[in-house]
Structure 1
């Protein structure tokens, strides 16, 4: 089955500071109310004032303001399971036996913010390096079974390589006297779950962009730049020269199947220097402030997206309840 037919992963954990080692998540919109941020791409960001900075060793148990506008892992799983069930029911109407492939296992942080600011536990970093346990190796995925032309036509609405499977341009043909839905059975399932957008069920583009932009912009904030300078000086004391935590994480020397002794030492020093200088507390405070600023500017569109998430999750629950 074409991977594009599987609902997108949530992007609440979209920007990992361990992006050089892990595959950073990030889904774009399926919501009809999606639109880009009010700030044009490439435009300068007005840096917010940050009045309060918490003392944090880790941000794992902290929630970012954009979280209610993004799918949680649980919500994404429910939507995936509901789409699979609806697709299989639709195929059965056409007299075809079809089982949706199980989602490929992927590394998931315990919370969206667990590794957003990189490694924070010196003891774990000393063992695993910059990639958390389970995050370094891509999971093996089984090759999907080949489908007959008949099954593919009903499933996706098309056998034409020039037409995107499951799209609005597919379907409307007849199979054994029954009209194939727009986008085939996959398209019908998506429509039932209001997941017909560009990424077929992932996060809406607007909150996804805010989640990414706030992380990127936070690195330029004076408070973050100042604490990065302290972190860098601390790292020098451990024998490592990096301007900021992302530079340490993305060192090409760490692109190995297992963590080397040098990587483990650098990761432990990174976590230790973050702890000593409250890097996570400052970074999180600025990140959250930038998100609150963007949410205020886009409150109407985000309210619609939040409502759409609630509706989609209710629909999925009803499907799974039978």
Structure 2
């Protein structure tokens, strides 16, 4: 399973391990699409040495090394608000009293690492099962307002179904003596915030790769495999047979609107066995070590990403301050 973020916009920075229950999703730097971790995507990774492992019940209060190169929920919200403001200002110039739709409400963990390694609180798991409250339901987005052809043209730069709305291929027409910006008012707002790159305002591909790859690779590390084996034996003693925590979390039996009695029992056992065997401490330590290794290899590209994030946030702050 690939970890992912569930928010009002497509951001892949926050990772949730509730497989088959939650979903992913960016606002981020304008790094070029070629900015990927060094070496082929599926190249063998040298497993880092781990000298000491803290005892952790949860990693919710622990940041991962890649965090500075990804947008937080708050930062994404600021960029979204600034883009909405700029879009509305542009539309007003063309005589349209346009109001940007509010992002659909969605589940968000308290921190990016709160559920990265699955459930960790036995008491909460006994009540909620594997999915935190609010995470089982995919929010239904509000019905988009019906816009006239003229409004759509100015907003997105096109009425042509073969042209991507808001893209650089749209716009350029003249409406009431004013030239429609590239990508329409949406494109203008994105460009003002430096959000018109390949990620379309999402987290940089390199940052996302490091965040996801470290999680996937950590499961193959000898220390993590060993602690998973201990966890599995602990689960068997409680009547549940799974090779690792992801298999327990992703059991298709849990794909229900509410947690069953069996799911609650399994989730509680999962959290208790993690605590008993320091699964989170080992897993987080290896995950973080892999990220530090990747960050060191890609330090120059990541420095540009961090600078771009800062620039975009400064631009957004200036817009919102007005």
Whether TM exceeds 0.5 here: the answer is yes
Partner SS state of residue 63, structure 2:
coil
What is the CA distance between 1:52 and its match in structure 2? Answer: 1.6
Q: Which residue of 1 aligns with 2:316?
A: 316
Report if the CA contact (8 A) 1:59-1:280 is conserved: yes
| Residues in 1 aligned to 2:282 and 2:246: alpha-carbon distance in whole angstroms | 15
- 1:3 is aligned to none
Aligned to 2:298: 298
TM-score in terms of structure 1 length = 0.95
Partner of 2:18: 18
Q: Tell me the equivalent position of 1:99.
A: 99
In structure 2, relative to structure 1, the CA distance for the partners of 1:7 and 1:70 (3 Å cut) is same
Distance 2:97 2:87 in 1: 11
Shift of 1:20: 1.6
1:180 matched residue in structure 2: 180
Tell me how many residue pairs correspond in the alignment: 315
Match of 1:149 in 2: 149
Instruction: Flag as ranges the 4+ runs of structure 1 deviating above 4 A.
Output: none
- Paired with 1:237 and 1:152, the residues of 2 have a C-alpha distance of 61
C-alpha RMSD of the superposition: 1.4
* Structure 2 unmatched ranges of 5 or more: 1-6
Residue 213 of structure 1 aligns with which residue? 213
Residue 140 of structure 1: how far off its partner (Å)? 2.8
Contact 2:157 2:171 in 1 (8 A): yes
In structure 2, distance between residues paired with 1:118 and 1:170: 43
**CA deviation after TM superposition for structure 1 residue 291, in Å:** 0.1
Q: Unpaired segments of 5 or more residues in structure 1?
A: 1-5
Further displaced range: 214-223 or 196-205: 196-205
For residues 239 and 7 of structure 1, what CA distance do their matches in structure 2 show? 38
Q: Distance in 1 between matches of 2:57 and 2:172?
A: 56
* 2:3 counterpart residue number: none
Q: Does 1:265 align with 2:272?
A: no
Partner Cα distance (2:21, 2:31) in 1: 33
Displacement of 1:44 after TM fit? Answer: 1.1
Q: Note the 1:1-322 alignment, pairs <5 A.
A: 8-13=9-14, 15-23=15-23, 25-27=24-26, 31-34=30-33, 35-322=35-322
Residue deviations 1:193-243 (CA, integer Å, cap 9, x gap): 000023321101101110000000000000000000000000000100000
Q: Label 1:248 to 1:20 Cα distance change in 2 as closer, same or farther (>3 A).
A: same
From the superposition, tell whether residues 28 and 312 of structure 1 become closer, same or farther in structure 2 (CA, over 3 Å).
Answer: closer
SS at match of 2:266: helix
